[in-house]
Amino acid sequence: MQLTGAEIVIRCLQEEKVEYVFGYPGGSVLYIYDELFKQDKFKHVLVRHEQAAVHAADAYSRSSNKIGVCLVTSGPGVTNAVTGIATAHMDSVPMVIISGQVPTAYIGQDAFQECDTVGITRPCVKHNFLVKDVRDLAMTLKKAFYIAKTGRPGPVLVDIPKDITNQKCEFEYPKTVTMRSYNPVVKGHSGQIKKAVQMLLEAKRPMIYAGGGVILSDAGEKLTKLARSLGYPVTNTLMGLGGYPATDKQSLGMLGMHGTYEANMAMQHCDVLIAVGARFDDRVIGNPANFAEVSRKIIHIDIDPSSISKRVKVDVPIVGNLPDVLDELQKLLEASAGVPDPKALAAWWKQIDEWRSKKSLKYKQGKEIIMPQYVIEKLYEVTGGDAFITSDVGQHQMWAAQYYKFDKPRRWINSGGLGTMGVGLPYAMGVRFANPKATVACVTGEGSIQMNIQELSTAKQFRLPIKIINLNNRYLGMVRQWQQMFHGNRYAESYVDALPDFVKLAEAYGHVGMKIERPADVEPALREAFTKHKNDLVFMDFLTDQTANVYPMVAAGKGLSEMILAEEL
Amino acid sequence: MRHIISILIENEAGALSRVSGLFSARAFNIESLTVAPTEDASLSRMTIVSTGSDDVIEQITKQLNKLIDVVKVVDLSEAAHIERELMLVKVRAAGKDREEMKRIADIFRGRIIDVTDSAYVIELTGNGSKLDAFLEAIDRSLILETVRTGVSGIGRGDRILKV
How far is it, in rounded angstroms, from Cα A218 to Cα A303?
Answer: 13
Peptide bond into A552 cis (omega under 30): yes
Give the torsion sign (CA, A166, A167, A170, A172).
Answer: negative
Query: In DSSP terms, which residues pair with B32 in a beta bridge?
Result: B49
Q: Where does residue A277 rank: exposed (0-12), middle (13-18), buried (19+ CB within 10 A)?
A: buried
pLDDT digits (tens, 9 = 90+) for A255-312: 999 999 999 999 999 999 999 999 999 999 988 888 888 889 999 999 999 999 999 9
Q: Answer yes or no: do B14 and A122 touch at CB < 8 A.
A: yes
pLDDT digits (tens, 9 = 90+) for B72-131: 999 999 999 999 999 999 999 999 999 999 999 999 999 999 999 999 999 999 999 999
Query: In DSSP terms, which residues pair with A440 in a beta bridge?
Result: A388
pLDDT digits (tens, 9 = 90+) for A505-549: 999 999 999 999 999 999 999 999 999 999 999 999 999 999 999
The confidence score (pLDDT) of residue A413 equals 98
Q: Answer yes or no: do B55 and A309 touch at CB < 8 A.
A: yes
Q: Answer yes or no: do A305 and B66 touch at CB < 8 A.
A: yes
**Residue in chain A nearest B25 by alpha carbon:** A123
Q: Cβ of B62 under 8 Å from any chain A Cβ?
A: yes
Q: Tell me the residue type at B97.
A: D
The confidence score (pLDDT) of residue B24 equals 96
Nearest to B122 by CA among B78, B149, B77, B92: B92
* Three-state SS at A347: helix
Q: Cβ of B38 under 8 Å from any chain A Cβ?
A: no
Q: Answer yes or no: do A181 and B66 touch at CB < 8 A.
A: no
C-alpha distance across the termini of chain B, in Å:
28
The confidence score (pLDDT) of residue A567 equals 73
Task: Name every residue whose Cβ is closer than 8 Å to that of residue B99 and which is 6 or more positions away in sequence.
Answer: none
Backbone angles phi, psi at A348, to 5 degrees: -65, -45
pLDDT digits (tens, 9 = 90+) for A159-169: 999 999 999 99
Tell me if residue A397 is catalytic: no
Q: Cβ of B66 under 8 Å from any chain A Cβ?
A: yes
Nearest to A84 by CA among A105, A106, A58, A107: A58
pLDDT over threshold 80, residue A359 = yes
ipTM value for the complex: 0.93
CA of B46 to nearest chain A CA: how many angstroms apart?
A: 15
B116-139 burial, b at 16+ Cβ within 10 Å, e below that, comes to eeebbbbebbbebebbeebeeebe
Segments of A232-296 assigned E as strands:
234-236, 251-254, 272-276
For chain A, how are helix, strand and coil distributed in percent, rounded to 5?
A: 40, 20, 40
B71 and A181 in contact (C-beta within 8 Å)? yes
pLDDT over threshold 80, residue A477 = yes
Q: How many CB atoms lie within 10 A of CB A284?
A: 28
Measured in whole angstroms, the distance separating CA A106 from the mean position of its chain's CA atoms is: 38
pLDDT over threshold 70, residue B27 = yes
The confidence score (pLDDT) of residue A556 equals 87
pLDDT-wise least confident of A263-272, A474-483, A554-563:
A554-563
Nearest to A155 by CA among A219, A72, A277, A237: A72
- Mean pLDDT score across all residues of chain A: 96
How far is it, in rounded angstroms, from Cα A84 to Cα A393?
Answer: 14
Per-residue pLDDT band for A568 (boundaries 50, 70, 90) equals: low
What number is the average pLDDT over the span A218-237? 98
For a pLDDT cut of 70, what percent of chain A falls above it? 100
Which one of A119, A181, A310 has the shortest CB-CB distance to B69?
Answer: A181
B35 and B16 in contact (C-beta within 8 Å)? yes
**Residue in chain B nearest A180 by alpha carbon:** B71
Alpha-carbon distance values, B129 to A306, A405, A506, B30 (Å): 33, 63, 71, 17
CA of B151 to nearest chain A CA: how many angstroms apart?
A: 24
How far is it, in rounded angstroms, from Cα A449 to Cα A424?
Answer: 7
Tell me if residue A502 is catalytic: no
pLDDT digits (tens, 9 = 90+) for A377-413: 999 999 999 999 999 999 999 999 999 999 999 999 9
B72 and B161 in contact (C-beta within 8 Å)? yes
How far is it, in rounded angstroms, from Cα A105 to Cα A163?
Answer: 9
Q: Where does residue A419 rank: exposed (0-12), middle (13-18), buried (19+ CB within 10 A)?
A: middle
What number is the average pLDDT over the span A200-214? 97
The confidence score (pLDDT) of residue A405 equals 97
The chain A residues in contact with chain B (CB within 8 A) are: 118-119, 122-123, 126-127, 130, 132, 147, 179-182, 304-306, 309-310
Per-residue pLDDT band for A569 (boundaries 50, 70, 90) equals: low
How far is it, in rounded angstroms, from Cα A478 to Cα A481?
Answer: 5
The confidence score (pLDDT) of residue A445 equals 98
The confidence score (pLDDT) of residue B163 equals 87
The confidence score (pLDDT) of residue A185 equals 85
Per-residue pLDDT band for A496 (boundaries 50, 70, 90) equals: confident
A453 and A422 in contact (C-beta within 8 Å)? no
A322 and A277 in contact (C-beta within 8 Å)? yes
Q: Cβ of B65 under 8 Å from any chain A Cβ?
A: yes
CA of A305 to nearest chain B CA: how many angstroms apart?
A: 7
